[in-house]
Amino acid sequence: MLWTMIRKEWVNNLLELRFLVCATLCIFLAVVSVFVLRADLTAKRADFNTNREIYRKQVEEYDGYSDLQRQGIRVDRPPQNFQVLFYGMEKTLDRTAVISGDYLPGFEGDLNTNPVVLMFPVADLLFVVGVVLSLLAFFISYDAVAGERESGTLKLLLSYSVPRDIVILAKWIGGYLSLALPFLAAMGLSALIVGLSGGVHFTAQDWEAFLISGLVSLLLIAVMFSIGLFVSVRARRSSTAILSLLAVWVLLALVVPNGGPFVAEIFAPVPDVGAVERQIAERIKAASDEFRSMFRGNRRRMRNMSQEDRAAFFQEVQQKRAKLRRTVNEASEEVISDFEQRLRRQIDVARTLTRLSPVASYAYANTDIGETGVRHQRNLVNGLRTYQRDFARYVEEKIEAEGGGGDGFFGGSQDGEYNIEDMPVFAHRAEELAGRLASRTTDVLLLVVFSVLFFMGAFISFLRTDIT
């Protein structure tokens, strides 16, 4: 009996025009988004490889290691394979960092990128599932009970010896399978496009993440359909149900995910970048003034200095500069560390607030699983700082090996050979999938809890509801 009713619900949904239109739209959007984002990834990877060679050649043209220490080398953000599915923070314009012997590195904006892309949401699978399929779930479920109650079909059905629990269970399973079908078709076509594409090279771990993200997506679909079924059971009319669900959809898909960060700024404010830079400048002002005054006071006397006095002066300048660099780095690390702690607190508040929406939990889970989310951004910046320390150590060792750098401090030539073949290269290593999953356990569990709670709400309400 249960299977017969499930099949009835499933076939009825598949034959409805609203389902066919929405399902076709979902599949079409998914395929188009993968094609577009695949082209975007290919272009970014080509730019990344080209820029890496350009940056290397620029460094090779420096006069010596002191120039290398001051001017540093530029590093681009490595493109992520998973952006073809979940674009996440890959949309940011901050794609280039300067690594030098001084200062903490951070990504800077790419002025060559069209800023218009930031004005509109990216139609990736995150958008297709979180916005389009969630709306389709409401379109299918809003009259699953309310519509049959209005038409009298439900009363006629229950006049036979059909238990109520079988009826509501069949409606949930049949409706959910209907929603899962276009999603699985979209995922299958996306996997086919990625697998046949020469510009996207998924590793075994990427395919594992792909499967897990698909399961998380099915969880969100279950949550949204359970919410729709619950409202349909509670509403007396199908028109009331659809209006209520549209309001719920706007709240869960748009208001809560987008409004949470703004509310978090009120409860956990973070200073702007200008305030942070001014605070660092105030901390290093005394050391900077001392260094500049020493340089200006001795620059004219250098013409009359003997070779030994000039070598001693350069040695003193190097020591003062090293002291200034330590002061700058210490002040920067302290101020930026405080800034980042406050920023993490704001992010935690925003996540806590936005997790009231299952769509937000879904976005957090799948972007971090695919390494296009906030966690990847934090790991990437930490990797940059580790590389900066290796780079600074390398340059200092080279300068010391050359006897302190000589006139190279002022950008001139140095004694000895300038060779950077052994210079460390920045290479971001992907986080293991197990670590990414562990970090998003809370969001996945929230989706499970939401799904169970709303299904049980619909189930119990249907058992107790008045059919007339």
Query: What would the pLDDT profile of 394-405 be if each residue is shown by its tens digit?
Result: 888 887 777 654
Cβ burial of 314 (10 Å; 0-12, 13-18, 19+) is buried
Domain span holding position 117: 1-468
Residue 198 has pLDDT above 80, yes or no: no
- pLDDT at 406 (0 to 100): 46
Compute the distance between CA of residue 415 and CA of residue 402 in angstroms, rounded to an integer.
7
Residue 344 pLDDT grade (very low, low, confident, very high; cuts 50, 70, 90)? confident
Residue 67 has pLDDT above 70, yes or no: yes
Checking if the pLDDT of 219 tops 60, the result is yes
Instruction: Identify the pLDDT of residue 296.
Output: 62
Whether residue 54 is predicted with pLDDT greater than 60 in this model: the reply is: yes
**84 vs 70: CA distance, rounded Å:** 37
Of 142-146, 156-160, 238-242, 356-360, the one with minimum mean pLDDT is 156-160
Q: What is the pLDDT of residues 420-439, one digit of tens each?
A: 888 988 888 888 989 989 98
* CB-based burial label for 283 (10 Å; 0-12, 13-18, 19+): middle
pLDDT digits (tens, 9 = 90+) for 110-126: 434 444 444 456 778 88
User: Taking a C-beta distance cutoff of 8 angstroms, is the pair 126, 187 a contact?
Assistant: no
Walk across the sheet containing 73-76 and list its strands. Answer: 73-76, 94-99, 108-109
Q: How many domains does the chain have?
A: 1
pLDDT at 415: 47
Please give the pLDDT value at position 405: 47
What's the pLDDT at 298?
Answer: 59
> What is the percent of the chain with per-residue pLDDT over 90, rounded to a whole number?
29
Which pLDDT belongs to residue 295?
61
- Confidence at residue 117, expressed as pLDDT on a 0 to 100 scale: 45
- The pLDDT, as a whole number, for residue 357 is 93
The answer to pTM > 0.75 is yes
Q: Where are the alpha helices (DSSP H) in 197-272?
A: 204-234, 238-249, 256-267
Choose between 274 and 53: higher pLDDT: 53
CA–CA distance, 205 with 436 (Å, rounded to integer): 11
> pLDDT confidence of 22, banded at 50, 70, 90?
confident
pLDDT band at 446 (very low <50, low <70, confident <90, very high): very high
Q: Which of 55-69, 226-240, 312-326, 334-348 has the lowest mean pLDDT?
A: 312-326
Q: What angle do CA 186, 192, 196 make, to 5 degrees?
A: 150
The answer to which of 252-256, 314-318, 364-368 has the lowest mean pLDDT is: 314-318
Higher model confidence: residue 453 or residue 97? 453
Q: Residue 184: is its pLDDT beyond 50?
A: yes
Mean pLDDT of 246-264: 92
Looking up tokens 């569990």 gives: 445
The stretch 97-104 carries a mean pLDDT of 74
Please tell me the predicted confidence (pLDDT) of residue 15. Answer: 85
Distance CA 385, CA 72 (A): 13
pLDDT at 286 over 60: yes
Structure tokens at 230: 């619950």
Q: Diameter of the chain by CA atoms? A: 111
- Model pLDDT, residue 412: 44
Does the pLDDT at position 9 exceed 60? yes
317/96: higher pLDDT: 96
Percent of the chain with pLDDT over 70: 86
Range of weakest confidence among 145-159, 234-248, 297-311 = 297-311
Q: Tokens 């779930």 label which residue?
A: 137
The label of the residue with tokens 């973070």 reads: 270
Lowest-confidence region among 40-49, 70-79, 194-203, 303-312: 303-312
Gap between the Cα atoms of 95 and 188, Å rounded? 31
Question: For the purposes of burial, counting CB atoms within 10 Å of the CB of 131, is it exposed (0-12), middle (13-18) or buried (19 or more)?
Answer: middle
Which tens digits make up the pLDDT trace of 134-182?
A: 999 999 999 888 888 888 888 888 888 788 889 999 999 999 999 999 9
